[in-house]
Amino acid sequence: MVCLTETHPFKPGFHKSKGNQMKSQKFILMLLLFVAFTFTMASCAATVAYSGEPKDIPILQKWSGDYPIVHLKWLPEGRQKSRSGYIGDAAIFATVWKAFKPGEKTPEVDFSRNFIVFSRNVDFYNRTSIFKITLKDGVIKILAMETRSALPIEDKVAMAMAVIPRAGVESIQVGNEQIPVSADN
C-alpha cells in the first residue's frame, strides 16, 4: 500500500493522506454549492423586490380645459382645494362636466370598473394635461405637465381629468397625503 502525502501550506510539517485530501475537496465543493445556493436565493429575493416597482396604469380617456372657480364646490368633498383627487360617481361627474365642458354631452364612464382622476392648478393659471399614472403597492401617482406662467388664478383654473381602471387602486398620492379610493364611490 502506497500513502501519498503533501505539506499543508498554512501549517509547516503537517501531512495529510490521499483520503483526507478527498474529504477536503468534498468540503470545499459543498461550501461552494452552499454559497451558490445562497446567492441564487438572494437574486430571487431581489427579483421579487424589483416587481414592486411602479407600473403604468392605462389612461382610457382624458380631457383638459378650464374649470370655473365658483363651481369648485361641485368637486368631491374634501377635494375642492386640493391639486388632485378622484371622482367615483356618475352623478358627481355629470355635475362637474357641466361646468368643465358646458354644452357638451357627458362622456360615458363605467364607474363599476373605472373612475376619474383629476389634476388642477392651485397657485397660478397654467394649462395642464395628465400624461402618465403609475401604481405601486396600491397607490397611484398622477403625473401632469403644465405650462409655466405667472398669471394669477382669477375666475377659472386649468384642470385635466382621466379615466383609469379601479383594479388594484387603493389610494391616490397627493403631495404628502394619501386619499383612500372607495370601492363604492
What is the pairing mode between strands 128-136 and 139-146? antiparallel
Q: Residues with Cβ < 8 Å from 164, sequence gap 6 or more? A: 57, 58, 59, 60, 114, 115, 116, 117, 133, 140
Angle at 166 between CA 104 and CA 127, to 5 degrees: 45
How far is it, in rounded angstroms, from Cα 79 to Cα 72? 9
In tens, the pLDDT along 78-131 reads: 777 788 899 999 999 999 999 999 999 999 999 999 999 999 888 888 899 999
Nearest to 144 by CA among 158, 159, 129: 129
Mean pLDDT lowest among 25-34, 46-55, 99-108, 166-175: 46-55
Checking if the pLDDT of 164 tops 60, the result is: yes
Task: Report, as an integer, the average pLDDT of 64-91.
Answer: 88
Edge-to-edge strand ranges of the sheet holding 114-120: 61-68, 156-165, 114-120, 84-87
How far is it, in rounded angstroms, from Cα 181 to Cα 87? 9
pLDDT of amino acid 30: 66
Phi, psi (deg, nearest 5) at residue 143? -105, 120
How far is it, in rounded angstroms, from Cα 159 to Cα 90? 18
How far is it, in rounded angstroms, from Cα 50 to Cα 44? 10
- Which residue do the cell numbers 377659472 mark? 156
Is 133:116 a contact under the CB 8 Å cutoff? no
Checking if the pLDDT of 51 tops 70, the result is: no
Q: Rounded to two decimals, what is the model's pTM?
A: 0.69
Paired strand residues for 144: 130
